[in-house]
């Protein structure tokens, strides 16, 4: 059974930094694209970033480019999202999701980790 | 960026009804369109991918069709567990973009 478990969310002040992580199990992690998607009351579901199976193929949403960094550790089946210069618009539930081929759907999702940016 | 226009934003229906939800892409996305169901407090669940392919384990009352840049999700014979929010997602190119969702409620 595919399992994705996010962690690392919390309360952070505007301008602060936070790293969220996703532990994967039940599949060959190093064969899949992985994505971060966030859900906010204001914008609904918003795709944030993706990374290819080999750590390449990295893309970001314009709203986070230059502030967020996606990475993965295939040896540990883990995905990470380092977030800096956080602002209130970054508040939301952050999901990791498994992708298929380059343009494939997101076929499995974690339960999300909540990030709140507030003073 | 590809804009996904999803309609309606909400829909009231009864058990047994057939309902349709539509997403229109702002430009061609081939068939790189998927549909998701989300229930309160839960993560989205993949229902349909590649426009019309049923994800394993999803009941056959869910179906998807495509016509150019228009994509439709149909639920035939609504069941009580189908009342939820539905989203489309284009994965033709980055940034991937979602529709704004359709809230399906019981009439």
Residues of A with Cβ-Cβ distance to B43 under 8 angstroms: 95, 109-112
Identify the pLDDT of residue A43: 87
Identify the pLDDT of residue A41: 84
**Mutation test of the interface with chain B: which of A101, A105, A108, choosing the one with the most B Cβ atoms within 10 A?**
A105
Identify the pLDDT of residue A102: 74
Please indicate if any CB of chain B lies within 8 Å of the CB of A109.
Answer: yes
Please indicate if any CB of chain A lies within 8 Å of the CB of B31.
Answer: no
- Count A/B contacts: CB-CB distance under 8 Å: 57
A116 burial type by CB count under 10 A (0-12 exposed, 13-18 middle, 19+ buried): middle
Identify the pLDDT of residue B72: 98
Q: Which of B46, B95, B100 minimises the CB distance to A44?
A: B100
Identify the pLDDT of residue A9: 98
A70-77: list long-range contacts, CB under 8 Å, 24+ apart.
A70/A36, A72/A29, A72/A34, A74/A29, A74/A30, A76/A23, A77/A23, A77/A24, A77/A25, A77/A29
Query: How many percent of chain B have pLDDT more than 90?
Result: 100
Confidence band, pLDDT 50/70/90 cuts, at residue A18: very high
Rounded mean pLDDT, A66-79: 98
Cα–Cα distance between A85 and B5 in angstroms, integer?
Answer: 31
Cα–Cα distance between B68 and B101 in angstroms, integer?
Answer: 20
Rounded mean pLDDT, A28-37: 96
Residue B47's CB is within 10 A of a number of other CB atoms, namely 22
pLDDT digits (tens, 9 = 90+) for A83-115: 999 999 999 999 999 998 777 899 999 999 999
Kind of pairing, strands B45-49 and B85-90? unpaired
Residues of B with Cβ-Cβ distance to A112 under 8 angstroms: 43
Cα–Cα distance between B53 and B57 in angstroms, integer?
Answer: 12
pLDDT digits (tens, 9 = 90+) for B23-32: 999 999 999 9
Please indicate if any CB of chain A lies within 8 Å of the CB of B49.
Answer: yes
Cα–Cα distance between A1 and A15 in angstroms, integer?
Answer: 38
Identify the pLDDT of residue A42: 83
Identify the pLDDT of residue B8: 98
Enter the tokens of residue B76.
């035939």
Rounded mean pLDDT, A48-54: 97
Rounded mean pLDDT, A62-83: 98
Q: Above 90 in pLDDT, residue A32?
A: yes
Identify the pLDDT of residue B66: 97
Listed as ranges, residues in chain B with pLDDT below 50 are none
**Mutation test of the interface with chain A: which of B36, B94, B99, B102, choosing the one with the most A Cβ atoms within 10 A?**
B94
Please indicate if any CB of chain A lies within 8 Å of the CB of B87.
Answer: yes
Please indicate if any CB of chain A lies within 8 Å of the CB of B91.
Answer: yes
Query: How many percent of chain A have pLDDT more than 90?
Result: 93
Enter the tokens of residue B29.
């996305």
Identify the pLDDT of residue A104: 86
End-to-end Cα spacing for chain A: 40
Query: How far B45 CA sits from the closest chain A CA (Å)?
Result: 7
Enter the tokens of residue A87.
């602002």
B18 burial type by CB count under 10 A (0-12 exposed, 13-18 middle, 19+ buried): exposed
Enter the tokens of residue B23.
């997403």
């Amino acid at each position: 059974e595919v399992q994705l478990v996010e962690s690392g969310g919390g309360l952070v002040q505007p301008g602060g930094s936070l790293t969220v992580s996703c532990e994967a199990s039940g599949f060959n992690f190093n064969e899949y694209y992985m994505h971060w998607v966030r859900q906010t009351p204001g914008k609904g579901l918003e795709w944030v970033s993706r990374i290819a199976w080999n750590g390449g193929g990295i893309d970001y949403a314009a709203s986070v480019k230059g502030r967020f960094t996606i990475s993965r550790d295939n040896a540990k089946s883990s995905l990470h999202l380092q977030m800096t210069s956080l602002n209130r618009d970054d508040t939301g539930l952050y999901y990791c999701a498994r992708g298929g081929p380059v343009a494939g759907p997101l076929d499995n999702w974690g339960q999300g980790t909540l990030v709140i940016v507030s003073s | 960026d590809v804009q996904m226009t999803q309609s309606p934003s909400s829909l009231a229906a009864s058990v047994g009804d057939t309902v349709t939800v539509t997403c229109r892409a702002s430009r061609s996305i081939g068939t790189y369109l998927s549909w998701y169901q989300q229930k309160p407090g839960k993560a989205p669940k993949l229902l349909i991918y590649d426009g019309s392919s049923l994800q394993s384990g999803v009941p056959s009352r869910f179906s998807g069709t495509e016509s150019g840049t228009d994509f439709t999700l149909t639920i035939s014979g609504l069941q009580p567990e189908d009342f939820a929010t539905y989203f489309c997602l284009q994965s033709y190119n980055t940034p991937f973009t979602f529709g704004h969702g359709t809230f399906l409620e019981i009439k």
